[in-house]
Amino acid sequence: MNPRNATGPKDPNDPKDPKSPGKPAGLLGAAVRRLRRDLVVLAGLLTLAYLILPNVVVMVFSFNKPNGRFNYSWQRFSTDAWQDPCGVADLCGSLGLSLQIAAWATVGATVLGTMIAFALVRYRFRARGAINSLIFLPMAMPEVVMAASLLTLFLNMGARLGFWTVLIAHIMFCLSFVVTAVKARVMSMDPRLEEAARDLYAGPVQTFLRVTLPIAAPGIAAGALLAFALSFDDFIITNFNAGSTVTFPMFVWGSAQRGTPVQINVIGTAMFVLAVLVVVAGQLVAARRKRTAATR
Amino acid sequence: MTLLAEKSPAAEPAPPRRAPARRRLVPYWLLLPGILWLLVFFALPLVYQASTSVQTGSLEQGFRVTWHFATYWDAFTEYWPQFVRSLLYAGTATLLCLLLGYPLAYLIAFRAGRWRNLILVLVIAPFFTSFLIRTLAWKTILADDSAVVAALDALKVLDVTNWLGLTEGDRVLATPLAVVCGLTYNFLPFMILPLYTSLERIDGRLHEAARDLYASPATTFRKVTFPLSLPGVVSGTLLTFIPASGDYVNAELLGSTDTKMIGNVIQSQFLRVLDYPTAAALSFILMAIVLAMVTVYIRRAGTEDLV
């Protein structure tokens, strides 16, 4: 995603290179050479197909009209589900709940994580090693272990499982990812920029708001985006700590037992298309901004 | 990493006098809320779970700590096949992710040209459709009468997987192959992105130097490209193996009762059977195994291969 070198460096292992040692000659040799040169491209594209295939299936089956309760085999074309995406009980409610939880979890994890990241990069203090491990461990542990132990805590405290327990859990596991993303950005910041601001008589608050924060913003944004995606799509931790609250992934999980409505595919497809459009629009805006900046 | 972190305070203009106590407390105030959150909702639960695992009792009469360590032994002897299966499936999926992901990461880094950003978007975009929906799509793809299964059968791939014990007859769904395929699919982007990041960082001049010294493409790859991409290989395999080892979604949706992984057992013990001590013990054993493997792996990769 780096527009700076969009054309990319040259393939270092390109056998077409004239300096490469001896090759069989003739037509067959040329074909073999070409195949060897493009083998990695072919393999990569096959992997890409493997990655995209389920999305294609989800999209195609959003136009299906299944006979039974399950939408697993193709029957006939229909746009019924697209015309009535909320036509299934609880589906849109669960989607709204997931969006709400993801939004709050993003805010919570981003604020707490950014503070930790700044403390880690900018200050010396005791117990740095212990704190680093505390941040690393949630990422190095199977989700089911965290989910089960958190449920043990909630059961022992007699907490009522639901919105709040899910939110607490989501902030907990998103936190480490935000810290990692923001830390990387803050670490690569040039400290001279802040020195310059101070030399120009900016106060600490002004320096932070006008210099530090804008430079750290891409890292914070990346962390927030990651937190949102992780929280929105989380299933295992939610499965343990949600009680009878139904988030969108919980709804899909339940529907795998009860019968999968076509509307699930409609929502999945809509989110996929929306995401691609947002990314493409972002790229276009970035490209235009770069062009205007270059002409200035 | 720490070097830079230690240096930056020194970069601030030297204060005329010793910094006031208020200022020296700043990092602690910054750390306090987040660290407290992790202590209460990550570390403390592990303590509670440790205590639960040595309790005995029943749901009706309540559980009490009796230091009943035999639970661990009982849980392990009863469920060791699921442990072995989990590690085997997760290991196979990780290896497949590496084999499938490396060419794609390489393609994006060196061969994609102006298609690079588009391919990167296509790698990331599936994330935005809930992974459960996408996993359910594999039920359609691998259904008994599907084109994919017919093709695998015609190409005699199923004979090989039958021989390996991964499939049975001409079915793919509800076999180990389906579960491994789902695991591989679900964690593939976590392999591709770190690989791509470390491949993209490689200085092109190193490759030129290798060519100038008459290294063949294969040698260049073996001696230059691959060693330099090892940090990506290490973080990619960790990001794949750790979540895959505890996963129960793929085994539940694509597998059968014969493909249950340890995650399935923990989930059902905790949420259906309500045998909390056994569930806690199993989850602790899983944590210990994964942490031990990760530690050994990082240490080996860090001291020998990553130089």
What's the angle, vertex CA A130, arms to CA A147 and CA B262, rounded to 5? 25
Mutate one of A1, A10, A37, A47 to test the B interface: name it (highest B CB count within 10 A).
Answer: A47
Tens digits of residue pLDDT in A170-202: 999 999 999 999 998 888 888 888 888 888 988
Rounded-to-integer distance, Cα A92 and Cα A248, Å: 8
CATH of the domain at B186: 1.10.3720.10
If pLDDT is split at 50, 70 and 90, which confidence band does A94 have?
Answer: very high
- Which residue has better confidence, A22 or B76? B76
Asked whether the beta carbons of residue A195 and residue B13 sit closer than 8 angstroms, the reply is yes
Cβ atoms of A122 and A186 within 8 Å: the answer is yes
> For B41, which of A120, A150, A176 is closest by C-beta distance?
A150
- Burial (CB count <10 Å: 0-12, 13-18, 19+), residue A19: exposed
Asked whether the beta carbons of residue A15 and residue B116 sit closer than 8 angstroms, the reply is no
Ramachandran region, residue A61 (left: φ > 0; alpha: ψ -120 to 50; beta: rest): alpha
Residue B91 makes CB contacts below 8 A (sequence gap 6+) with B241
Which DSSP string corresponds to A27-89? HHHHHHHHHHHHHHHHHHHHHHHHHHHHHHHHHHGGGB--SSS---S---B--HHHH-TT-ST
- Burial (CB count <10 Å: 0-12, 13-18, 19+), residue B268: middle
Rounded-to-integer distance, Cα B84 and Cα B11, Å: 52
Q: Which residues of A touch B35 (CB under 8 A)?
A: 116, 131, 134
> For A54, which of B113, B134, B206 is closest by C-beta distance?
B134
Q: Strand (E) positions, B121-216?
A: none
Asked whether the beta carbons of residue A253 and residue B132 sit closer than 8 angstroms, the reply is yes
Average pLDDT value over all residues in chain B: 87
Distance from CA of B163 to the nearest CA of A (A): 24
Query: In this predicted structure, what is the pLDDT of residue A22?
Result: 47
> For A12, which of B13, B129, B225 is closest by C-beta distance?
B225
Distance from CA of B188 to the nearest CA of A (A): 8
Domains, chain A, ordered by start? 1-63 (no CATH), 91-263 (1.10.3720.10)
With CA atoms as reference, report the closest residue to B245 among B286, B210, B280. B286
Burial B184-199 (b: 16+ CB within 10 A, else e): bbbbbbbbbbbbbbbb
Tens digits of residue pLDDT in B77-111: 999 999 999 999 999 999 999 999 999 999 999 98
**Residue B64: DSSP 8-state:** E
Distance from CA of A213 to the nearest CA of B (A): 15
Examine residue B74 and state whether it is found in any structural domain, yes or no: yes
How many contacts, defined by CB atoms under 8 Å, are there between A and B? 322
Question: What six digits make up the tokens of A77?
Answer: 């074309």
Domain count, chain B: 1
Tens digits of residue pLDDT in A54-70: 999 999 999 999 988 89
Residue B136 makes CB contacts below 8 A (sequence gap 6+) with A72, A252, A256, A260, A264, B253
Whole-prediction pTM: 0.86
Examine residue B36 and state whether it is found in any structural domain, yes or no: no
Query: In this predicted structure, what is the pLDDT of residue A23?
Result: 47
- Among A115-119, A239-243, B22-26, B121-125, the minimum mean pLDDT is found in B22-26
Of all residues in chain A, the percent with pLDDT exceeding 90 is 53
Query: In this predicted structure, what is the pLDDT of residue B40?
Result: 96
Residue with tokens 């390109």: A14
Question: What six digits make up the tokens of A270?
Answer: 């809509």
If pLDDT is split at 50, 70 and 90, which confidence band does A11 have?
Answer: low
Distance from CA of B78 to the nearest CA of A (A): 19
> Can you give the residue range of the structural domain that contains B154?
70-305
Question: What six digits make up the tokens of B199?
Answer: 């491949």
Q: Strand (E) positions, B19-127?
A: 55-58, 62-65
Residue A167 makes CB contacts below 8 A (sequence gap 6+) with A101, A104, A105, A108
Of all residues in chain A, the percent with pLDDT exceeding 70 is 91
Residue A4 scores a pLDDT above 80: no
Tell me, what's the ipTM? 0.86
Examine residue B17 and state whether it is found in any structural domain, yes or no: no
Query: In this predicted structure, what is the pLDDT of residue B64?
Result: 81
Rounded-to-integer distance, Cα B182 and Cα B25, Å: 49
Mutate one of A42, A145, A241 to test the B interface: name it (highest B CB count within 10 A).
Answer: A145
Rounded-to-integer distance, Cα B275 and Cα B48, Å: 15
Query: In this predicted structure, what is the pLDDT of residue A35?
Result: 81
Distance from CA of B123 to the nearest CA of A (A): 7
Asked whether the beta carbons of residue B132 and residue A249 sit closer than 8 angstroms, the reply is yes
Positions in chain B whose pLDDT score sits under 50: 1-16, 303-307
DSSP3 helix / strand / coil % (chain A, rounded to 5): 75, 0, 25
Examine residue B48 and state whether it is found in any structural domain, yes or no: no
Asked whether the beta carbons of residue B44 and residue A115 sit closer than 8 angstroms, the reply is no
